[in-house]
Amino acid sequence: MPLCTSSSLQPHNLMLNSHLQPLTRALFRSKLTTMSNQSTSSSIKSRIRGVVFDMDGTLTVPVIDFPAMYKAILGKDQYFSIIASSPSGIDILHYIEQMTPDNQQKAYQVIADFEKLGMDQLQIMPGAQDLCSFLNSRNIRRGIITRNVKSAVDFFHERFGMSFSPALSREFRPYKPDPAPLLHICSTWGVEPNEVIMIGDSLKDDVACGKRAGAVTCLLDETGRYDSPKYADVEHKPDYKVSSLAQFHSLLESNFDLTP
């Protein structure tokens, strides 16, 4: 499961009209303008040859109560202390790496228990199948970068019935928000980073990874939680923001030259 987001367990919804975040409003507006201008001329659209997805909370419905998991690992006091100084989210793997070996083992077991719960309750995100069928029809490459473990990625592939390749789990080091996994995928595909769009539900991991690699980025924010002013000063801001995969599908179709 994604190990950095600080959101509470969020009810899934199918809201199609996103509320633009303050932090992205100006940029998003300019993109929408561009989208309108470009609709009459495909020659000026940016070319996208591949889409890289986050897995948990993007291709699957979020079910993990991350604050509860973080509190179980860090203790309430440390959790509240960290979250006060890290508004964009906790990089729990980073904190675990600083623990003693014994405590690391306990922490990874807590994560494994939460991730097992996530696998038991796994649901494919609405719109994911349609989106991937559409990408298939255009021969656009699909990859995954997740901070979850490989067994969860394998399980997801079994349940989803469509393959993503490469699909990099947290066994691939360094993991996101480092750009390395995305650059590795671009290299494997033989495409430039700016010919790839990265979509995920984490500003801190997915958008940061994508921006650092030089890719186009899209934040999936189903509930508008990133509208909060606490995200106004984050370093890496998304190029686009959508509230559903259906909206992301529309964005791809209308705004980009999808040529493999």
Active site residues: 54, 56
* Binding residue for Mg ion, selected from 6, 31, 56, 135, defined by CB under 5 A: 56
The b-or-e profile of 100-116 (16+ CB within 10 A means b, else e) is eeeeeeebbebbeebbe
* Binding residue for Mg ion, selected from 57, 177, 179, 238, defined by CB under 5 A: 57
Shortest reach from residue 220's CB to Mg ion, in Å: 8
Shortest reach from residue 33's CB to Mg ion, in Å: 29
| 3-class secondary-structure state, position 223 | coil
Q: Which helix (H) or strand (E) holds 11?
A: none
* Binding residue for Mg ion, selected from 91, 195, 201, 221, defined by CB under 5 A: 201
**Eight-class DSSP state of 2:** -
Is residue 221 within the footprint of Mg ion (CB under 5 A)?
no
Piece in contact with Mg ion (CB under 5 A), picked from 44-52, 56-64, 147-155, 209-217 = 56-64
Shortest reach from residue 56's CB to Mg ion, in Å: 5
Is residue 222 within the footprint of Mg ion (CB under 5 A)?
no
Q: Give the binding-site size for Mg ion (rule: CB under 5 A).
A: 6
| Degrees, nearest 5: CA angle 20-252-125 | 75
In Å, how far from its chain's centre is CA 157? 17
Shortest reach from residue 204's CB to Mg ion, in Å: 10
**CA torsion angle 187 189 193 199 (round to 10):** -120
Which residue in 216, 229, 175 sits closest to 52, CA to CA? 216
Q: Which of residues 35-54 bind Mg ion (CB under 5 A)?
A: 54
- Residue written as tokens 């904190």? 95
The smaller minimum CB distance to Mg ion, of residues 3 and 258, is found at: 3
Provide the β-strand partners of residue 216: 197
The smaller minimum CB distance to Mg ion, of residues 57 and 238, is found at: 57
Q: How far apart are the C-alpha atoms of 12 and 257, rounded to whole Å?
A: 31
List contacts with Mg ion (CB under 5 A): 2, 54, 56-57, 201-202
